Structure 1
Amino acid sequence: MKKILFPTDFSEAATNAFVHALEFAKIVNAELILLHTFEIPVYDSQFFPENYASIYSSIELAKFEMFKDEIPKLRAIAAARKLDDIAIKHRLMDGDLIFNLKNAIEEDKIDFVIMGTSGVSDWTKFFTGSNTSSVISGVKVPVLCVPADAKFKKIKTIAFTTRYREKDKEELRKVLVIARKMNAKVKSLYVRTSNSDVSDATIKEWEYEFADDNVEFLVLPSDEVKDTILDFILYKDIDVLTTITHKKSFFESIFDSSFTKKITKEVSIPVLVMHET
């Protein structure tokens, strides 16, 4: 059985992403591990010589009580969607989110991470912010990023952006495995700019190699890469956008402020981040 790590702060964005996590867990036959982290503020013990320890104890207790109160709400969501048979475990950890997340991935042998964004107005901050950037760059498992207003719906079409590098094939195969479980089609997109070095022979080679898979390869000539991707998402009815991290973050190059405003106004879909090997 696969394992999905779901970091949550119990916000509306996280609760929305929890629905996606539940449905995804059902599709891939996985168990969910909920991770909630909190940081204890640092106090100077010379100012709190007697009750130093009790301050920490009270904070930990308060966090535990909040955690304990929130879990039944999530279980109620699972029950309402008739997904209460999905195994759900819990982790409450103090300390840095990224540090704890990486430890949880290693200790629990996690296969996927699913996490919510903080809302439409924060896409730029989310995708280029320190937390998400650290998760995406520091975690070696696929990460599904779910915008706060992306309501779950049956996934029929998954977009896969590629540069036709040899190493992209392995990630495409992983996406195709997921797509088969969802009975979804994969549409592979390459935006060919005027200085592109990808040959027609390479594209033909890919088409031949994946001829037996439910994948369609599209090459769109344009020097307006961002607008072309947006149009592709809009007019091809894309349900999930898949991208592979490179040395320069996809999000740093694609989700700049002007593009973010446009994409969040017109479309809001989950983004599946794969990692180059």
Structure 2
Amino acid sequence: MKKILVPTDFSDQAENALKVAAQLARTYDCEIYLLHIIELPIDQDDAINSHSDFPEALFFMKLAHNKFEALKKKDYLKDITIHETVDFHEIFKGIFHVSKKHDIDLIIMGSNGVSGLKEMLIGSNTEKVVRTSEAPVLVIKNEHKAFKVDNFVFASDFKDESKPSYEKLLQFAKIFNAKVHLLLVNTPNNFMTSGEANGRMQTFLDAFDFPELSKNIYNDISIESGIMNFSESISANLIGMSTHGRQGISHFFNGSISEDLVNHAKRPVITFKI
């Protein structure tokens, strides 16, 4: 892990993400790529892309760079290599393109953990990034004065298609020196016996060698509540899940659990694209 992308709108939530990025950058000798996206109407966006001098766009770009300069002077970013970019795009498209351009290892985003109308306005951008990003996405809800991952939950249906994302998760678990807690949630609508669940998990694990882990089967009324309740019960620091990109995650999670957790879970959530 050498390159961390932090999209920012200069809000408190975005700064919470930046503070976590700074801690990781300092510990693991990473560079931070700060990105501010300016969303313009389509005709104005076309004007920018055609390199015309659009006064409002130039004003917002200068304003963003001024905010970057103020942000980079903060003590928690001292001696960390910071790259700044201002882009004109839809937010999730801009993040996707910048991530690909700079070969980003990890995207860290802030989120409110909101619901209702705000979830539609704020959460939708985070969900789109989670759905489309090739790089792992770490979503931060609160300020973490010391971001530490001792207990790392991996929630899955433990089918073969999740093996690539689990392999990526193990890389992060090694970086964090974390214990991995494998979690299969049983629900009334998607029930399997303990023997079936244990057998599926063990078959999945036969392809990997990672000593610090536990296997857990948890019964709850829904996958989402099971993940959150189990994570609460072990005081997990981080929840990891697989995503299928635009198709949502595997049918076991009914296509939207990772996006729902990004909005509703109190704990940080990291997603890995299959």
TM-score relative to the length of structure 2: 0.79
- 2:155–2:183 CA contact under 8 A, matched in 1: yes
- 1:27–1:182 CA contact under 8 A, matched in 2: no
Match of 1:188 in 2: 182
- Aligned pairs for 1:83-162 (under 5 A) are 83-118=77-112, 120-121=114-115, 124-125=119-120, 129=124, 131-147=125-141, 149-152=142-145, 153-162=147-156
Structure 2 residue 58 is the aligned partner of structure 1 residue 61: yes
Match of 2:227 in 1: 229
| Bigger Cα Rg | 1
Change (3 A) 1:124 1:244: farther
Q: Deviations over 1:84-126 (max 9, x none)?
A: 2321101112232233222212221122211111454578437
Structure 2 residue 18 is the aligned partner of structure 1 residue 12: no
State the alpha-carbon separation in 2 of the partners of residues 254 and 154 from structure 1: 22
- 2:184–2:197 CA contact under 8 A, matched in 1: no
Q: Which residue identity is paired with 1:32?
A: I
State the alpha-carbon separation in 1 of the partners of residues 161 and 25 from structure 2: 27
Change (3 A) 1:222 1:155: same
- 1:142–1:273 CA contact under 8 A, matched in 2: yes
In the TM superposition, residue 27 of structure 1 has moved relative to its aligned partner by 4.1
- 1:28–1:178 CA contact under 8 A, matched in 2: no
Q: Deviations over 1:9-60 (max 9, x none)?
A: 111111111111212333443211111121344679xxxxxxxx77x22x23
In the TM superposition, residue 210 of structure 1 has moved relative to its aligned partner by 4.2
State the alpha-carbon separation in 2 of the partners of residues 190 and 28 from structure 1: 31
SS of residue in 2 equivalent to 1:109: coil
Structure 2 residue 71 is the aligned partner of structure 1 residue 74: yes
Change (3 A) 1:190 1:61: same
Change (3 A) 1:214 1:132: same
Identity of matched residues, %: 25
In the TM superposition, residue 160 of structure 1 has moved relative to its aligned partner by 0.8
Change (3 A) 1:61 1:136: same
SS of residue in 1 equivalent to 2:239: strand
State the alpha-carbon separation in 2 of the partners of residues 20 and 212 from structure 1: 26
State the alpha-carbon separation in 2 of the partners of residues 113 and 260 from structure 1: 14
- 1:4–1:32 CA contact under 8 A, matched in 2: yes
In the TM superposition, residue 173 of structure 1 has moved relative to its aligned partner by 2.1
SS of residue in 1 equivalent to 2:168: helix
Change (3 A) 1:188 1:9: same
Runs of 5+ in structure 2 lacking a partner?
45-51
Question: How many residues were matched structurally?
Answer: 255
TM-score relative to the length of structure 1: 0.78
In the TM superposition, residue 237 of structure 1 has moved relative to its aligned partner by 0.6
Match of 1:213 in 2: 211
Change (3 A) 1:73 1:16: farther
